[in-house]
Amino acid sequence: MSTLRNSNAERDARTLVHPYSNLSYDTESRLLTIVKGDGCYVEDDQGNRYLEGMAGLWSTSLGFSEERLADAANAQIRKLPYYHLFNHRSTEPSIDLAEKLLSIAPEGLEKVLFANSGSEANDQAVKLVWYYNNQKGRPEKKKIISRWRGYHGVTVASGSLTGLPANHADFDLPIRNIIHADCPSHYHHANPGESEEAFAQRLAESLEAQILAEGPETVAALIAEPVSGSGGVIVPPKGYYERVQKILRKYDILLIADEVICGFGRTGKMFGCETYGLKPDIMTVAKALSSSYLPISATLISGKIYDALVEESRKHGVFAHGVTYAGHPVCAAVALETLKIYEERDILGHVAQVAPHFQARLAALADRPNVGHTRGVGLIGAIELVADKTSRAPFAPARGVGPAFQSHLQRNGVIVRALRDAVAFCPPLIITKEQIDVLFDAVEDGLDFVAREFS
Ligand code: PLP
């Protein structure tokens, strides 16, 4: 072990609290310190290169060495490193970015409220829904429905929206007025022999029953990722959103689309909303908005929600919401350049070209003995690791198969993410066919390792 590694690992263990890590583990022996990136690859402090099969955290869409984004940040930081949007102040990058975002967003979204992270974008979506219904004179219409296995962030409100037990346990979440509906995973929750359409119909009926039980006059909004990422890449069953949206319209319930992972080409269209026919009243974006080179997120809202904010301002004298870095000019300049690159390089066209190969290699894994299911769309996908293919019995968590699979791939120079029994793949959108083969060759080798070591 080199001195550099010793030094980084020791200093890290002494100082850092690692998000989403098991803090009872010995950090020093596990640490992976990334020091540079190049295209779809990153390199650690030992000089080992890795194909980043997760684009960081589902996010570095343009890979790790896009010079134009570095130049955009540099130019803006020299011109105006910071200014804010409070109190009727503005900056040109935030205006340009809002304009550009609205020009590509789903129909009906008319205004942009910037923030820094996906969690914040969803948090402010919750606040805006509450504010909206107060302005409309229906203070009882406040409940927000999220789905089990949905992931929407970690702040007090967005962590409540997140439908994963570990995000609630001992954090005293969820907060009041946030409730959870069925997870739309056909693999996990369909009855034996139940078709996707029949499953979607059952979910829709269950959602309607839940709304009626809560009282439709108390239900304000439903939030959904078009494809849930961190919950295990849950691709919705056929006909699901069509049915869900019919119910939302029936009871005057707003739809919040969380496009933090799906946004900007991940599912093959610019937004997951287009892939699945969603017509949101609110849409949140982050991650690929700036290819994650700098932190920036946004909550896009419909005209009717904006009108309510204006009315509330009239009443209170101010729209009393906003964060210091909202629309930060350097982040906005980088995001704007990212959106320009998507267009100029036809990133959607590239995804359309390589995604069939990605999906074909993914689907081929379904024949493997320890793969219970494969699922995906565009350039996102997952496999479900199982101990027994016929019964779909998962491995006992104590055996640590997912983490062992992930570590095996890492030793072979490929980064993927184990999420409970699923292993997710979500590479940079610029990935080539050849690199997709490197990724899935490593996954196949990892499945041989699982068969050898755990069967
Ligand atoms: N929404 C979705 C769909 C996400 O995947 C994430 C993060 O992974 C978030 C929200 C939260 O974003 P952040 O981690 O930037 O707060």
- Ligand 1 centroid – CA 238 distance (Å): 25
- The answer to whether the CB of 105 is under 6 A from ligand 1 is no
CA dist., res. 104 & res. 235, Å (int): 23
What would you measure as the largest C-alpha separation in the chain, in angstroms? 68
High-pLDDT (> 90) share of the chain, %? 96
Q: Residue holding tokens 């707003």?
A: 254
Is 272 near ligand 1, meaning CB less than 6 Å away? no
User: Using CA atoms, how far apart are residues 434 and 414, in angstroms rounded to an integer?
Assistant: 14
In three-state secondary structure terms, 371 is strand
What are the phi and psi torsion angles at 90 (to 5°)?
Answer: -150, 175
pLDDT range class, residue 455, cuts 50, 70, 90: confident
Nearest CA to ligand 1 atom 3: 260
Q: Which of 60, 123, 149, 260 to mutate to test the pocket of ligand 1 (most atoms within 8 A of CB)?
A: 260
Residue nearest to atom 12 of ligand 1 (CA): 118
How do beta strands 282-285 and 297-302 pair? antiparallel
Provide the token pair at 68: 């134009």
pLDDT tens digit sequence for 13-61: 999 999 999 999 987 778 999 999 999 999 999 999 999 999 999 999 9
Residue 256 alpha carbon to ligand 1 centre in Å: 14
Amino acid at 364: A
With a 6 Å cutoff on the Cβ, whether 266 touches ligand 1 is no
381, exposed or middle or buried, with CB in 10 Å at 0-12, 13-18, 19+? Answer: buried
> How high does pLDDT run on average in the chain?
97
pLDDT digits (tens, 9 = 90+) for 69-117: 999 999 999 999 999 999 999 999 999 999 999 999 999 999 999 999 9
The pLDDT of residue 12 is 93
Please check the confidence at residue 386 and state whether its pLDDT lies above 90: yes
Helix (H) or strand (E) holding 313: helix 303-316
Which residues fall within 8 angstroms of residue 297, CB to CB, at 6 or more apart?
A: 114, 115, 116, 117, 118, 120, 121, 260, 284, 285, 286, 289
CA of 34 to the centre of ligand 1 (A): 21
Average pLDDT over residues 361-378: 97
Could you tell me the distance, in angstroms and rounded to a whole number, from the CA of residue 152 to the centre of ligand 1? 5
Nearest atom in ligand 1 to the alpha carbon of residue 57 is 8
Distance CA 271, CA 441 (A): 29
Model confidence at 225: pLDDT above 60: yes
Give the ligand 1 atom nearest the CA of 122. Answer: 10
Find out whether the beta carbon of 229 lies less than 6 Å from any atom of ligand 1: yes
Distance, in Å, from the CA atom of 306 to the CA atom of 450, rounded to the nearest integer, reads 52
Ligand 1 pocket mutation pick from 167, 225, 261, 323 by most atoms within 8 angstroms of CB? 261
Report the chain's C-alpha Rg in angstroms: 22
Q: How many residues does the chain have?
A: 455
The residue whose CA is least distant from atom 7 of ligand 1 is 153
Pairing of strands 49-52, 414-415: parallel
Which pLDDT belongs to residue 232?
97
Q: Which atom of ligand 1 is nearest to the CA of 118?
A: 12
CA distance 120 to 333: 20
C-beta separation of 123 from 155 below 8 A: yes
Output the CA angle 343-348-349, nearest 5 degrees. Answer: 100
- Is the CB of 258 within 6 Å of ligand 1? yes
303 alpha carbon – ligand 1 mean position (Å): 25
Q: Whose CA is nearest to atom 13 of ligand 1?
A: 118
Q: Per DSSP, what are the bridge partners of residue 300?
A: 112, 283
Q: How many CA atoms lie within 13 A of 155 on its CB side?
A: 14
- The pLDDT value recorded for residue 30 is 85
Name the residue of 119, 122, 290 to mutate for ligand 1: max ligand atoms within 8 A of Cβ.
Answer: 119
345: pLDDT strictly greater than 90:
yes
Select from 178, 177, 376 the least CA-distant residue to 167.
178
Instruction: Give the other-Cβ count within 10 Å of 250's Cβ.
Output: 11
**Structure ipTM over 0.95, yes or no:** yes
Q: How far is the CA of 70 from the centre of ligand 1 (A)?
A: 23
Backbone angles phi, psi at 237, to 5 degrees: -70, 155
The model's confidence at residue 351, banded by pLDDT at 50, 70 and 90, is very high
Contact 234 CB / ligand 1 (< 6 Å):
no
Whether the predicted pLDDT of 2 surpasses 70: no
Pseudo-torsion of CA 325, 347, 58, 45, nearest 10°? -90
pLDDT on residue 5: 64
* Whole-prediction pTM: 0.98
* Ligand 1 contacts CB of residue 119 (under 6 A): yes
For tokens 């909550």, what's the residue?
299
pLDDT digits (tens, 9 = 90+) for 122-172: 999 999 999 999 999 999 999 999 999 999 999 999 999 999 999 999 999
pLDDT in tens, 295-338: 999 999 999 999 999 999 999 999 999 999 999 999 999 999 99
Burial class (CB in 10 A: 0-12, 13-18, 19+), 410: middle
Q: How far apart are CA 286 and CA 335, in angstroms?
A: 10
What one-character DSSP code corresponds to residue 368? Answer: S
Question: Nearest-CA neighbor of 411 among 446, 378, 385, 444?
Answer: 446
Residue 107, judged by CB atoms within 10 A of its CB (0-12, 13-18, 19+), counts as exposed
Quick check: 428 pLDDT over 80?
yes
Task: Give residue 448 CA to ligand 1 midpoint distance, Å.
Answer: 32
pLDDT given for residue 26 in this prediction? 84
**Top mutation candidate among 152, 161, 167, 264 for ligand 1, by most atoms within 8 Å of CB:** 152
Pairing of strands 254-258, 422-425: unpaired
Q: Report how far ligand 1's centroid is from the alpha carbon of 266 (Å).
A: 14
How much is the average pLDDT of 340-350? 98
Atom in ligand 1 nearest the alpha carbon of residue 120: 16
Residue 295 near ligand 1, beta carbon < 6 Å: no
pLDDT at 1 over 60: no
